[in-house]
Structure 1
Amino acid sequence: MNSAPIGIFDSGVGGLTVARSIIDQLPNEELLYIGDTAHTPYGDKPLATVRQLSLDVMDELVDHGVKMLVIACNTATAAVLADARERYDVPVIEVIKPAVRRAVATTRNNKVGVIGTRATVKSRAYEDAFAAAVDVEVTSAACPRFVQFVESGTTTGPEVIAAAEEYLAPIKAAGVDTVVLGCTHYPHLAGAVSVVMGPEVTLVSSSEETALEVYRELRAGDLLREDAKPPLHTFAETAPRVGRTSQFAQLSQRFLGPAISRTATIPMIDSKEGLDQ
């Protein structure tokens, strides 16, 4: 079991920020990543739909023998976390509480902004997590086009800045000193967000904190990989919709870096057929 891969999933390429942090902090671990490109984005779908899509992908990962599941998607975390922890016998790690812990430790004026998908913001999962942690004033804003930008490989430029200025206006007006990037796609747009918010505002991404949570859980469960052979990572996607061109392989290599792309395999899979086709 120690040599089994860590299973990670997201609606597309956003969760690669989490995968990158896990690779950096746990270089001996193998990863099996699935981006559900057939159904991206999750953020404009009802939570009940996201729940079923997430369970389908996690069932696939568990069937392939992963030793841990990482829900590298804020919308999916809000939709399915409790169900996943009841359904599976392996540890399930999420991305919301690690980001909240970091934001609480970072804020100086107890005013925190959260940006996320429509579904994540509507779920109020972040407000609930902050309420359980400390008395912090939270201002949330949905940024629906951000995921589309990242999935198309557009991470800078006038269009991105214009969208960021529009979406972040209520966050700026609230006088926050910390902004949680409440979607794993958003770190790819951190430059634009930082330009709009200004250098005095700290951006918090859940990626590194989630990787630390993965390390703690593996160590506590005596599940750290001890194999001397270099790990082989697999990054896969569900089949994109008919007539839609997939950029998953190209963006995976871009976001993970050349050292990773040389060792990773990026097969095209069908969400109903699995990784073995």
Structure 2
Amino acid sequence: MNDPRPIGIFDSGVGGTSIWKEIHNLLPSEKTIYLSDSLNAPYGIKTQEKIIQLSIKNTEKLLEMNCKLIVVACNTATTNAVKVLRSTYNVPFIGIEPAIKPAALKSSNKAIGILATRGTLTSELFAQTSELYTRDIDVIEVEGNGLVELIESGKKDSEKTRELLEILLAPMIEAKIDYLVLGCSHYPYLIPLLTEILPEDVKIIDSGEAVARQTKAILNNNNILNSNSVKVTPEFYTNIDPRVLSEIINANVNAYKVEQLDF
């Protein structure tokens, strides 16, 4: 079992790199190709038809690059388009959706917050998951309007972002949530600010580690794991100015090159 073809990952911008990091840490010998569709960010305010169209565009670009598996590192794209992608293309897809189940099961206060885009919160898949696990839980759903745009413009640590988060989190704090579910792959980059604003007892959950474990499992199950132990260099592409994506992935070390690509 030695399949050196790359894993493809796409998101509506830079946020999915939070998923990429978990995959790269767990599977360092797997080559990864990351597509940042920042030109069309955010997906969360678009119609389902448009989200499907963009997801197909991204998928076909990754298939052109010979990807053996595709990670839809976007909650909105997963909840609105992954069913179509799986029925259209003969390649495994890994989706990402808000971690409602662990938050609901672990909550002592029986109150959880979900911060997500409108596209995720209004999707059929989200409604099904929420109905299944939160019948006896007080769920405070908040649309993170404006957060993706701030992150995409390199302002994730700005005072403007803090002020917006304080407004968005206020109803959750008032409801005494003890778990906050991050329903957008961009939002893990806000954890430092979230931690400062939320009460100390509130735990923050995102889906990154679970997605990485699922990716490894699917590679194994399909016999397409790369058994070579040599670390490989990931590739990053964006369809706008690459500076923000470069800053996100090279926060600690200037190791990876980001290329601008039309897609």
Match of 2:17 in 1: 16
- 1:208 partner SS: helix
Cα distance, 1:213 vs. partner? 1.2
Match of 1:266 in 2: 258
Cα distance in structure 2, aligned partners of 1:50 and 1:161 = 28
- Give the counterpart letter for 2:118 in structure 1: R
- Give the length in aligned residue pairs: 261
Cα distance, 1:133 vs. partner? 4.0
- Give the counterpart letter for 2:83 in structure 1: A
- 2:9 partner SS: strand
Match of 1:106 in 2: 106
- 1:144 partner SS: coil
Aligned 8 A contact 1:236 1:267 in 2: yes
Aligned 8 A contact 2:6 2:31 in 1: yes
- 1:61 partner SS: helix
Cα distance, 1:104 vs. partner? 3.7
Alpha carbons of 1:165 and 1:248: their partners in 2 closer, same or farther (altered >3 Å)?
Answer: closer
Cα distance in structure 2, aligned partners of 1:208 and 1:226 = 21
Cα distance in structure 2, aligned partners of 1:153 and 1:236 = 17
- Give the counterpart letter for 2:90 in structure 1: D
Aligned 8 A contact 2:111 2:179 in 1: yes
Q: TM-score, normalised by structure 1?
A: 0.87
- 1:140 partner SS: strand
Cα distance in structure 1, aligned partners of 2:121 and 2:189 = 19
Cα distance, 1:134 vs. partner? 5.5
Cα distance, 1:167 vs. partner? 1.0
Alpha carbons of 1:118 and 1:128: their partners in 2 closer, same or farther (altered >3 Å)?
Answer: same
Aligned 8 A contact 1:139 1:171 in 2: yes
Aligned 8 A contact 1:127 1:138 in 2: no
1:198 aligns with 2:199: yes
Match of 1:235 in 2: 236
1:65 aligns with 2:66: yes
Cα distance, 1:220 vs. partner? 2.0
Alpha carbons of 1:104 and 1:218: their partners in 2 closer, same or farther (altered >3 Å)?
Answer: farther
- 2:25 partner SS: helix
Cα distance, 1:229 vs. partner? 3.7
- 1:96 partner SS: coil
Cα distance in structure 2, aligned partners of 1:125 and 1:166 = 27
- 1:267 partner SS: strand
Which structure 2 residues correspond to residues 20-31 of structure 1 after superposition, within 5 A?
20-31=21-32
Match of 1:151 in 2: 152
- Give the counterpart letter for 1:126 in structure 2: F
Match of 1:275 in 2: none
Match of 2:177 in 1: 176
**Range that drifts further, 161-170 or 14-23:** 161-170
Cα distance in structure 1, aligned partners of 2:60 and 2:133 = 31
Cα distance in structure 2, aligned partners of 1:176 and 1:182 = 16
Alpha carbons of 1:139 and 1:125: their partners in 2 closer, same or farther (altered >3 Å)?
Answer: farther
Cα distance, 1:237 vs. partner? 1.1
Cα distance, 1:37 vs. partner? 1.7
Alpha carbons of 1:233 and 1:34: their partners in 2 closer, same or farther (altered >3 Å)?
Answer: same
Cα distance, 1:70 vs. partner? 0.5
Aligned 8 A contact 2:16 2:186 in 1: yes
Match of 1:162 in 2: 163
Cα distance in structure 1, aligned partners of 2:28 and 2:259 = 22
User: Percent same amino acid at aligned positions?
Assistant: 28
Match of 1:274 in 2: none
- Give the counterpart letter for 1:195 in structure 2: E
Query: Which segments of 5 or more consecutive residues in structure 2 lack a partner in the other structure?
Result: none
Aligned 8 A contact 1:12 1:248 in 2: no
Cα distance in structure 2, aligned partners of 1:254 and 1:229 = 21
Q: TM-score, normalised by structure 2?
A: 0.91
- 1:33 partner SS: strand
Aligned 8 A contact 2:242 2:259 in 1: no
Query: Which segments of 5 or more consecutive residues in structure 1 lack a partner in the other structure?
Result: 272-277
**Range that drifts further, 114-123 or 203-212:** 114-123
